[in-house]
């Protein structure tokens, strides 16, 4: 991504100015040296009371000392001006990168179907709602814990997906009609069907009255990082993010869901003068926890004085521990006001981890007024900040 403040060359320290007292002492030494050396070397046949003698004895050493000081001062001033110019350029580039990094997308609407709730999912989970249930499956002669919607045979999978997608799109119909402009559709699915089949179902259920600029269907589970890529494009547009984790056969510890998020770029929001429900800040992929925690806090404008709520899903304990240590070092943990682990109640969101964590965080941000800190794992572990608008 183009936003990487770590790649900006560092500021340069200002050079040390010449010490006036030392140079005064050096000039005096030059004069003393002239007083001692010149009479010793002065030719016997030349008078010692001439102007030339006193010039060589006093003025010449004084001139040498002063000239040395002037040369040193000029070198210092040239280097100082060069460093100041460099640091001004650095500051300008740094501020530009910070401004770009702190750009966010606005959430305009959401809809979803899950085993826990079809609305107010965050409230349901925080009040003890559970999607995970233990079942015995005769076909595999094993007991699994899963959170599933009613399962149907394979030949009915398309019908089931079409029905759920119709429900999800129907819940967002008013927002899709209300908000106009370029609309990009992103569909991420779990690979039970081919992307061509998913696209065919989508085209069948999506209203023709809502023109789509472009549509992308894939199984590449990059979690939240597609938002990072979209922010880099700086489009004046809407994005409908659809994610499906729909079982053909129940999956242990996973939860079924089909969800959609309608998001808008800051340029679109400014152009149409629309205030979103929440702001979703630029996500950060975790590679160096201490630096990445500082970066995501910077993008999301989180400081040690800002209270926040913690959501996590599918995160390895070792990565989580490193992230928490980094948060503690940055004095950010003291303002954590609560925590929800999705796999403990909802189940592992699987292919829908991006949308489901965003839905929970956005809902809770609106209800509580608190910033929300997400940490999730898909192909990589990522963090992002959600703030109420």
197-214 pLDDT per residue, tens = 999 999 999 998 899 999
Mean pLDDT, the chain, rounded, equals: 91
Q: How far apart are CA 192 and CA 201, in angstroms?
A: 13
Instruction: Determine the pLDDT at residue 178.
Output: 93
Query: CB–CB of 217/198 below 8 Å?
Result: yes
Q: Does the pLDDT of residue 152 top 80, yes or no? A: no
| Mean pLDDT, residues 134-156 | 74
Query: CB–CB of 101/299 below 8 Å?
Result: yes
Q: How far apart are CA 75 and CA 60, in angstroms?
A: 22
Q: Does the pLDDT of residue 97 top 60, yes or no? A: yes
β pairing state of 284-285 and 381-388? antiparallel
Share of the chain above pLDDT 70, in %: 97
Using only C-alpha atoms, the chain has a radius of gyration, in whole angstroms, of 34
β pairing state of 371-377 and 381-388? antiparallel
Q: How far apart are CA 157 and CA 193, in angstroms?
A: 9
Q: How far apart are CA 342 and CA 253, in angstroms?
A: 11
β pairing state of 308-313 and 278-281? unpaired
Instruction: Determine the pLDDT at residue 153.
Output: 58
Q: How far apart are CA 160 and CA 241, in angstroms?
A: 20
pLDDT tens digits for range 231-243: 988 889 999 999 9
pLDDT tens digits for range 185-198: 999 999 999 999 99
Of the pLDDT bands very low, low, confident and very high (cuts 50, 70, 90), residue 5 is: confident
E strand spans, the chain: 104-113, 133-137, 142-146, 183-189, 214-218, 238-245, 257-264, 278-281, 284-285, 308-313, 336-341, 371-377, 381-388
β pairing state of 257-264 and 278-281? unpaired
Domains of the chain in start order, with CATH, are 5-101 (no CATH), 104-388 (3.40.47.10)
Q: Within the chain, what is the greatest distance between any pair of CA atoms? A: 125
Q: What are phi and psi of 220, to 5 degrees?
A: -75, 100
- Close Cβ partners of 383 (under 8 Å, ≥ 6 residues apart): 283, 284, 286, 292, 293, 296, 323, 373, 374, 375
pTM for this structure?
A: 0.83
Q: Does the pLDDT of residue 94 top 80, yes or no? A: yes
């Amino acid at each position: 991504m183009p936003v990487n403040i770590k790649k900006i060359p560092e500021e340069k320290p200002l050079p040390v100015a010449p010490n006036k007292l030392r140079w005064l002492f050096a000039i005096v030494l030059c004069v003393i040296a002239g007083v001692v050396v010149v009479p010793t070397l002065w030719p016997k046949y030349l008078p010692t009371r001439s102007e030339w003698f006193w010039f060589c004895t006093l003025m010449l050493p004084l001139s040498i000392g002063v000239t040395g000081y002037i040369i040193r001062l000029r070198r210092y001033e040239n280097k100082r001006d060069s460093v100041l110019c460099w640091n001004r350029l650095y500051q300008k580039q740094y501020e530009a990168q910070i401004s770009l990094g702190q750009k966010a997308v606005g959430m305009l609407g959401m809809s979803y179907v899950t085993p826990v709730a079809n609305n107010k999912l965050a409230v349901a989970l925080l009040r003890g709602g559970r999607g995970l249930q233990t079942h015995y499956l005769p076909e595999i002669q094993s007991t699994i814990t899963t959170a599933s919607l009613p399962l149907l045979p394979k030949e009915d999978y398309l019908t089931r997906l079409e029905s759920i997608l119709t429900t999800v799109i129907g819940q967002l119909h008013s927002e899709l009609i209300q908000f106009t402009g370029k609309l990009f559709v992103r569909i991420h699915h779990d690979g039970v069907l081919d992307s061509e089949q998913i696209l065919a179902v989508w085209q069948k259920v999506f209203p023709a009255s809502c023109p789509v600029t472009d549509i992308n269907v894939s199984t590449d589970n990059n979690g939240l990082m597609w938002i990072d890529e979209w922010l880099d494009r700086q489009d004046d547009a809407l994005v409908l993010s659809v994610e499906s984790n729909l079982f053909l056969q129940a999956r242990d510890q996973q939860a079924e869901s089909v969800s959609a998020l309608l998001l808008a770029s800051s340029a679109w929001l400014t152009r149409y003068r629309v205030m979103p429900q929440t702001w979703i800040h630029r996500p950060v992929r975790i590679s160096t926890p201490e630096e990445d925690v500082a970066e995501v806090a910077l993008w999301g404008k989180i400081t040690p004085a800002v209270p926040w709520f913690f959501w996590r899903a599918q995160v390895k304990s070792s990565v989580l521990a490193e992230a928490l240590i980094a948060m503690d070092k940055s004095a950010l943990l003291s303002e954590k006001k609560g925590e929800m682990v999705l796999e403990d109640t909802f189940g592992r969101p699987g292919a829908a981890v991006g949308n489901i964590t965003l839905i929970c965080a956005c809902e809770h941000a609106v209800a509580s007024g608190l910033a929300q800190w997400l940490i999730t794992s898909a192909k990589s572990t990522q963090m992002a900040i959600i703030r109420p608008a």
